[in-house]
């Protein structure tokens, strides 16, 4: 099942928001709405797309700052996040926005997920994996049929998510990458929270932080 995927990059953190939809459909997923929600909303309007769900890989401010605007525009779209990061949505101290000098407060989650759960929205089937270490409750969304992983701040091209935030752990993150991501097919395309796309195969060979 081929997916159409549009990236919207929000400043000042160069955070990637993804809009994903199946060919021929007018409903979509919005993953990690960032600090420039108007750009997301403009794209949705221009393409005639309606979010079936708003997904957060984790609860840090740069990945949830657009939640309120997206929910206001599309109140029927459920807001989904990993159960262990759900408390970060409404707490500027825990979602680290306050430490950057501004307060981000998202609407609360409509649905929480954990390892082993599955979701199906907009004709896209997703598997959920818990990969903590960047945040305590970080999850990733695997569209196995499309060979696509929405990975948030876990695995980047040539790097990994930082582990110095509250709840962070390099050892935990590296273990999750090795045991849950590196076992996926090498051709799986990783859409990360920051920076360019990569593949599982590329990172297993060349990632200097977590080698196979």
**pLDDT class for 67, splitting at 50, 70, 90?**
very high
What pLDDT, on a 0 to 100 scale, did the predictor assign at position 197? 98
Q: What is the DSSP letter of 64?
A: H
Alpha-carbon distance of 98 to 105, in angstroms, equals 10
Q: Where are the domains of the chain?
A: 3-206
**pLDDT class for 102, splitting at 50, 70, 90?**
confident
What pLDDT, on a 0 to 100 scale, did the predictor assign at position 71? 98
Would you say the pTM of this structure is higher than 0.85?
A: yes
Q: Are 187 and 147 a contacting pair, CB within 8 Å?
A: yes
What pLDDT, on a 0 to 100 scale, did the predictor assign at position 48? 97
What pLDDT, on a 0 to 100 scale, did the predictor assign at position 3? 94
Q: Which CATH superfamily is domain 3-206 in?
A: Ribonuclease Z/Hydroxyacylglutathione hydrolase-like (3.60.15.10)
**pLDDT class for 93, splitting at 50, 70, 90?**
confident
């Amino acid at each position: 099942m081929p997916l159409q995927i549009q990236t919207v990059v929000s400043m000042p953190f160069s955070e990637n928001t993804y809009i994903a939809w199946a060919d021929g459909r007018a409903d979509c997923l919005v993953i990690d709405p960032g600090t420039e929600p108007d750009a997301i909303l403009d794209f949705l309007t221009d393409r005639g797309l309606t979010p079936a769900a708003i997904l957060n890989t984790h609860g840090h401010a740069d990945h949830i700052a657009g939640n309120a605007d997206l929910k206001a525009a599309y109140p029927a779209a459920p807001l989904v996040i990993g159960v262990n990061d759900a408390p970060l949505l409404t707490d500027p101290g825990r979602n680290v926005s306050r430490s950057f000098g501004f307060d981000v407060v998202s609407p609360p989650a409509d649905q929480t997920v954990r390892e082993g759960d599955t979701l199906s929205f907009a004709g896209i089937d997703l598997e959920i994996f818990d990969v903590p270490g960047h945040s305590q409750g970080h999850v990733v969304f695997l569209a196995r049929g499309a060979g696509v992983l929405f990975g948030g701040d876990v695995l980047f091209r040539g790097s990994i998510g930082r582990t110095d935030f509250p709840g962070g752990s390099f050892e935990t993150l590296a273990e999750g990458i090795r045991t849950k991501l590196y076992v996926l097919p090498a051709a799986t395309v990783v859409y990360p929270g920051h920076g360019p796309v990569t593949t599982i195969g590329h990172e297993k060979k060349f990632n200097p932080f977590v080698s196979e």
